[in-house]
Amino acid sequence: MKSFRLLSGLTAVLGLFTSLTFSTPSSALEVIHPGEQRAGWDFTALGELPVQAGGRIKPFNTYAREMATYLTGSKSFQGWQAEDLLLSWLTAPAQWEQKEFIQVQREDVKRQIGLDPKQGRFSPRALISESHLGQYAEALSGRGQNALAKPPLAGGAPKQDPREKELKTVLDRIGTWRSVVTGEAWPLVPPGADAAPDQTSWTTLADRDFIQGAPVQEVMAAVISAYATEDRTAFDSAVAQTHSVIQSRIPGWTDADRRRLDVESVYNHSRPFFWAWVLYLGAGLLGAFSSAWQKSYGEAGEVRSRRFFQAALVLGILGTSLHVLGMGMRIWIAGRPPVSNMYESVIWVSFGTMLFAWILYSTRRARVLVTVSSFVAAIMLIVADSAPAVMDPSIQPLVPVLRSNLWLTVHVLTITLGYAAFALTLGLGNVTLFHFAKGGPGVSARISSLNDLTYRAMQFGVVLLAAGTLLGGVWADYSWGRFWGWDPKEVWALIALMGYIIVLHTRYTGWTGQFGFAAMTVLGFTLVIMAWYGVNFVLGAGLHSYGFSTGGRGTVAAFTLLQFGYVGGVAWLRKRRLNLQKTPHGSSANEARA
């Protein structure tokens, strides 16, 4: 699919310097308000049409969102519904040629092809006629797709320069848009209910060019015509007819298949992870407010503080329930655990953070666990929800090396659960450092309690990361014929494991005090970031090539630097406070002993 779109992009770039007008199935239509949204229209029924794309049958709503996200970098570009956007591209390509909607991310790529580096999206005309992208396309088509790849590293796949990869992606996006406006990217035509078992591939609207005897094309022509002429009644009727015709022509279509598409449609529209992070954020804020109220009013404010925390508990439980429901729906739709890419691993790790917090809360009844875990889980889900161009939320079939559900479950779920426990320690460590910076009466007792909770959560993480690393070795022997090969992913998983073992050991033996343990906890999470994100998004090398991607480096780098700065700032404040202290009394003496 990717290679097809890239070749389409090359064809589009090389052949469109003089004209950007594509031949489309709807080119003869007279479109009312071309390129404008159909305000107030309901595209739910259209979004439920089955399509075959990405190796599986899915609702058209899913497919349209994936296409819109890939081209624009947003699931709802400028407020457009995804189905509305694709129909607008199809019926009004001339208007869209002038609009800035194709995403180009890297500034060095924009400079290379003569575009404004501060601009995020560009029109097809600007990319094809007003930039140097065509020269690059000519070079690429003459030398082959892998001509610009760097030599393989450590026996893995060829390492591609990120700039060259972005250039290819831009070409791919042009090819994708071209296929939308020509009908080639509308895989709505099943092979027929009486098709042979080996004839399972669907065709597109462009394959038969709306000729007589092509039932799906004919009913879709009515849909497109009604959309173009803004006839809502005819549109709804044509969509219903299209749904009936498509389902009648799908070989072996069963009630179970229908239910799976229905579940996916509900999943798309209900947005369980969005509402989960909203609830988590509310739980975290109420938990923090409960703690602040108790500290401000002491015993007099205990009743109200407890009520605030009870509300936080309710929101946290509701958020976790929605989180579980969302993962269950993804598992039902995909038929596998939700850990095949960065988006799914973030969803899983955020859930694991809440899971370990609830386990510890059931035995310790420490309110800070609910507050901290809710904030951490909310931040993770917000990042996953707000960066679809970096973390692909689409449900894709597994690559061959991941198709053993047993190994996928025992290795990937285990090792990422270890990351979840460390994410909880990161939150607790930051709160501990805040108490060091704030000081005051009773701070030593709070710090001691927080360090103990951090230590228990870190034990979970070390055990799970060790087990996941060992199980990964067994899986590597099963898949690649060797237990250990110094692959970057393997090496950084081992580095993270050894780093946290050192932190636990120094705390257990007393080699470091309470402040040192909290600081090492926060800084130690940078090892997880490198093993989890850095290998796949920065190094991009090794045998774990199925997880490679790009984007988000600036955000991750800023977060890492912020954590280092926070630890350094708290260390300076603590040292300054201790140096100013004349006599070791009260909380300062306790802090000095820490």
Residue 580's contacts (CB-CB under 8 Å, 6 or more residues apart) are none
Take residue 226 and report the two structure tokens written for it.
């009604």
* Cα–Cα distance measured from residue 312 to residue 307, given in angstroms and rounded to the nearest whole number: 9
* Cα–Cα distance measured from residue 154 to residue 103, given in angstroms and rounded to the nearest whole number: 33
Question: Does residue 368 sit in the same domain as residue 432?
Answer: no
Q: What's residue 208's pLDDT?
A: 58
Lowest mean pLDDT among 75-89, 146-160, 216-230: 146-160
CA-to-CA dists, residue 141 to 3, 13, 154, angstroms: 12, 11, 28
The reply to whether 52 falls in a domain is yes
Question: Does residue 379 sit in the same domain as residue 418?
Answer: no
Could you tell me the residue range of the domain that residue 171 belongs to? 2-18+28-181
Distance between the two ends of the chain, CA-based, in angstroms?
A: 59
Q: What are phi and psi of 42, to 5 degrees?
A: -105, 115
Q: pLDDT by residue (tens digit) across 461-491? A: 999 999 999 988 887 777 777 788 788 888 8
The reply to whether 474 falls in a domain is yes
Q: What's residue 20's pLDDT?
A: 41
Q: Tell me which DSSP letter residue 17 carries.
A: S
The reply to whether 225 falls in a domain is no
Q: pLDDT by residue (tens digit) across 396-436? A: 877 666 666 677 678 889 999 999 999 999 999 999 999 99
Question: Does residue 421 sit in the same domain as residue 387?
Answer: no
Task: Give 583's pLDDT tier (boundaries 50, 70, 90).
Answer: low
CB 72, CB 82: distance < 8 Å: no
SS3 assignment, position 160? strand
SS3 assignment, position 103? strand
The reply to whether 214 falls in a domain is no
C-alpha 408, offset from chain centre: 19
Question: Does residue 366 sit in the same domain as residue 466?
Answer: no
Take residue 173 and report the two structure tokens written for it.
């996006």
Helix (H) or strand (E) holding 102: strand 102-103
Lowest mean pLDDT among 256-265, 322-331, 467-476: 467-476
Take residue 586 and report the two structure tokens written for it.
């009260």
Q: What's residue 132's pLDDT?
A: 84
* Cα–Cα distance measured from residue 15 to residue 8, given in angstroms and rounded to the nearest whole number: 10
Question: Does residue 411 sit in the same domain as residue 354?
Answer: no
**Four-point Cα dihedral 55, 59, 65, 70, nearest 10:** 10
Where among 349, 376, 391 does a domain terminate?
A: 391
* Cα–Cα distance measured from residue 535 to residue 542, given in angstroms and rounded to the nearest whole number: 9
Domains held by the chain: number: 3
Task: Give 17's pLDDT tier (boundaries 50, 70, 90).
Answer: very low
Q: Tell me which DSSP letter residue 547 carries.
A: G
Q: What's residue 155's pLDDT?
A: 45
Q: What's residue 197's pLDDT?
A: 64
Question: Does residue 453 sit in the same domain as residue 547?
Answer: yes
Task: Give 94's pLDDT tier (boundaries 50, 70, 90).
Answer: very high
Question: Does residue 461 sit in the same domain as residue 385?
Answer: no
Question: Does residue 383 sit in the same domain as residue 436?
Answer: no
DSSP 455-501: HHHHHHHHHHHHHHHHHHHHHHHHHHS-S----HHHHHHHHHHHHHH
* Cα–Cα distance measured from residue 24 to residue 528, given in angstroms and rounded to the nearest whole number: 49
Taking phi over 0 as left and psi of -120 to 50 as alpha, with beta for the rest, 306 belongs to: alpha
Question: Does residue 433 sit in the same domain as residue 456?
Answer: yes
Summary mean pLDDT of the chain: 85
582: amino acid identity, one letter: K
* Cα–Cα distance measured from residue 61 to residue 58, given in angstroms and rounded to the nearest whole number: 8
pLDDT exceeds cutoff 50 at 152: no
CA-to-CA dists, residue 572 to 86, 436, 437, 511, 580, angstroms: 56, 11, 9, 21, 12
Question: Does residue 578 sit in the same domain as residue 478?
Answer: yes
Question: Does residue 408 sit in the same domain as residue 384?
Answer: no
SS (H, E, C) 412-459: HHHHHHHHHHHHHHHHHHHHHHHHHHHCCCCHHHHHHHHHHHHHHHHH
Tokens 């009773």 appear where? 442
Helix (H) or strand (E) holding 395: none
Question: Does residue 377 sit in the same domain as residue 519?
Answer: no
Lowest mean pLDDT among 287-301, 303-317, 426-440: 287-301
The reply to whether 572 falls in a domain is yes
The reply to whether 14 falls in a domain is yes
Helix locations, 22-149, DSSP H: 44-47, 60-72, 82-91, 93-96, 107-112, 124-129, 133-143
The reply to whether 196 falls in a domain is no
The reply to whether 500 falls in a domain is yes
**Which among 385, 382, 353 is positioned nearest to 370, based on CA atoms?**
353
Helix (H) or strand (E) holding 361: helix 342-364
Where among 181, 203, 227 does a domain terminate?
A: 181
Where among 341, 370, 391 does a domain terminate?
A: 391
* Cα–Cα distance measured from residue 373 to residue 355, given in angstroms and rounded to the nearest whole number: 9
160-174, 188-202, 222-236, 290-304: range with highest mean pLDDT: 222-236
Q: Residues 33-44: what's their mean pLDDT? A: 93
Q: What's residue 139's pLDDT?
A: 74
